[in-house]
Structures are given as C-alpha cells and as structure tokens.
Amino acid sequence: MTKSERLFEEASRLMPWGTQTNAKRPDASFAGVMPLLIERALGCRIQDVEGRWYLDYRSALGPIILGYQHPTVAAAVRRQMEKGVLFSMASPVELDVAASLVELVPGLEQVRFMKTGNDANNACVRLARAFTGRDHLVTCGYHGHGDWFSCGHGEVPGLFPRAGNGVPRLLDSLVTRLSYGDLTATEQVFARRGDEIAAVIMVPYDWGEPVAHDFVRRMRELTQRHGALLIFDEVLTGFRLARGGAEEFFGVRPDLRTFAKALANGYPLSAYGGRRDVMEKLYDVILTTTHAGETLSLAAAGATLQVLRDEPVIEHLWQMGERLRDGFDAAARERGLKARVFGLPPAVQFRFGEGDEAGDEARHVFFRELYRQGIFAAVPFLLNYAHQPADIDETLEAMRAALDVVAGEMPALAR
C-alpha cells in the first residue's frame, strides 16, 4: 500500500467517510490517479502526502479565491494572532469586516457573521419566518445539510436521500423545491401558496445550468408581490460573479443574502445580511454562536475583501476562464471530438457528446488522464487569482494529451 492508502484506511477506521466533507470523499473509479490526502498548498497548487504536486482547479471546494497562502491574507492573520483569537467581548475586527462588506455589496445594510454556509442559510430562513410571520419556504438549489434543505416536495430531489435521513416527515409540507430556471413551476407555486410563503432561498446562479436572468428577475417580482422575502444563497457565487455579488451581476436586489466560501480565502467564516428592517428582527430572534467572532477568520476576511477592492480579481477569473474555455474548445475541434465547455468563465465545466452515459464516460476518461498528468480536475473548474496564463497553458497542454486518449478510447464521439 502507498502512504496515501495506509493513511486513508486508518482515517476510514476512525471517521465515517475518512473525511469531513462529502465532496472530498475519494472517487474509487479514479483509484491510483486521484490523490487521497493533501499535505500542503501554495498559490494554485496542492501537494499530496506522497509529495506530488497538482495544479488545482477545485480551490478547496470554492473558498480559495485569491490562491492558497495569499501573502496579504497570511500577514493579516499573523498580526491578529499576536492579539488573540477569541475574546470575552466583541472585537474591533468585527466592525472592520462588517463595514467592508456593507461598502462592497450594494444592498447590504446590516450584516452578522457565522462559521459555515449552512449556518448562514439556516439563520436567514429562521429570520425570514420571524419577520413575515409565515411558515412556508421555497428552495432552489443546494443550501447545506440543514433540515429545511433536506425535506419538502418538488420536481428536484434534494442532494441527500429523503428516506431515513433523520428529518421529520412533518416538515415536508412546509417546503417546496424548485429547479433553477423553471419559471412555470415558480408561477404555479406562487399562484397556489403565495400568501403562505415566508421566503424563497435560491442560488442566483447554478454553475451547471444556463444563466437565467429572467428567472432571477421574476423571482424578485413574485416575492415582492406576495410579501415574501428573497434570499440569495451566495455561498459559492459570492465574489466570483462580481465584486458586489449576484445582485450586481443580475441587477436584482434580494432582501437577504449569504456569503461563505470565498469570503475569507479559506478561513472558516460566513455572513448573512440585508435590509435593515429585516435584520433588526434579530433583537427578537436569538441566532448566536460563540465562534462567530473568532478573529483570525475575520482578519482573513478583511484582507480578502481589501484585495477584492484593490486588485482586478474578478476580471482575472473571467479572463483565465475564457483562456481555458477557448483552448479546450479549439483542441476538441482539432481532434474532431463532440466536446465543449459550458458555464460562466470563473467556473467552467466540460461536456462530451450529448451529456448522456457515453458523454459521462468520456469525461471520466478525460479527468482520469488529467489526474495522471498532475491536473486536479473538478466539477466545476473553480479558478482563483493565483492561476496565471502559464498555468492555463500548462493545463491546456495536459488537456490536449487527455483528449487524444479520449479520441482513441471512444471513437464514437468523433463529429
């Protein structure tokens, strides 16, 4: 057994999954080529316990927006560490980061901090129900593992299996699930239950779907008409679409929004906030946690937001994504393969054939070959500020070799 295999075997004995996060569970179909455990990271590269480096496109599932160990963020954390990590009262760093967020995000009037995206989304749901005096919730997208996001009725099943998941069946009647972009189902649920709906919590953009500007705008119109709140779950989209979030990108202002992942460039922090009148309901609704004011993550967030303000981070993500997209599409055309990039440039995905079983198999072969060449493939490819043109070119060179293997193993995908 390799060192990785021995460590993962021991981890699986001590911890279910052998890891803490569902998306970090090793894929057995990539055994021998996909790293099992990561020892360290720097910039846009990660190193496994065997000492092998990979050009990383998972970005720690999205939190790494500036690159691993970004010097501005690291320096801010070291300075704060000399002062302390957690105090018996609030810290000025809480005010500093709150002020930065309110300045950066157009409709954000007040904000509170939590630790995870799931925390922030649950807080918004509770707050919306208290503010409106209503119980029904409409969800659109993945919002975490909370009870309200693991139950309900709708066309799209939750990420987790409903049967036996520990969520009371009584909650199903209080939640409706919608597919991103499904205007028909949206109109129907508001026609049927509009005056019962406390809030719609939605991902403003699902990276795997076409961008639905009309859908987002219509959701705003319907929630306003029926007195429901609109909550943007920006746990993943936050600071990848635009500096001011999805509301800047779409031109649609929600009542509440949540941020996490990229907020602190890898440090554990989330935030939720919005309209002052809604947020002031928190004087009546107690939503609190000891470590929300943990200062190292807040210092990291303050530094991350400063870089986002001062440097062309968003523009760089789009440019590098376009370079990757154009290079892949050209390579696929040269080889006569039915393959293309889809999704917005900061988080591209790859489709082979018609997206059917054969196409999925081709993408599996493509990813397998990328892992072998030291490219950590992901769905989607999440770029960060550390990815430079040379890194994209290195990736494209590996992709051309991987596409040669796909063409050889699956000739049916030829145009």
Q: Which residues share a beta bridge with 231?
A: 201, 256
Structure tokens at 251: 């031109």
Helices 213-226/183-193 angle, 10° precision = 0
User: Do 288 and 357 meet the contact criterion of CB atoms below 8 Å apart?
Assistant: no
User: Do 130 and 153 meet the contact criterion of CB atoms below 8 Å apart?
Assistant: no
Report d(CA 295, CA 112) in Å as an integer: 14
Catalytic residue selected from 68, 206, 255, 261: 261
Q: Is 265 helix (H, G, I), strand (E, B) or coil?
A: coil
Report d(CA 398, CA 233) in Å as an integer: 34
Report d(CA 335, CA 379) in Å as an integer: 23
Q: Is 132 helix (H, G, I), strand (E, B) or coil?
A: helix
User: Do 197 and 138 meet the contact criterion of CB atoms below 8 Å apart?
Assistant: yes
Cα dihedral sign, 364-181-151-245: positive
User: Do 117 and 136 meet the contact criterion of CB atoms below 8 Å apart?
Assistant: no
Nearest CA among 331, 406, 411 for reference residue 365: 406
Report d(CA 223, CA 200) in Å as an integer: 7
Query: Degrees (nearest 5) of the Cα angle 122, 127, 129?
Result: 100
Q: Is 172 a catalytic residue?
A: no
Q: Is 115 a catalytic residue?
A: no
Catalytic residue selected from 119, 206, 233, 391: 233
Report d(CA 262, CA 61) in Å as an integer: 10
User: Do 85 and 295 meet the contact criterion of CB atoms below 8 Å apart?
Assistant: yes
Burial class (CB in 10 A: 0-12, 13-18, 19+), 274: buried
Catalytic residue selected from 54, 57, 68, 142: 142
Q: Is 48 a catalytic residue?
A: no
Catalytic residue numbers?
A: 142, 233, 261
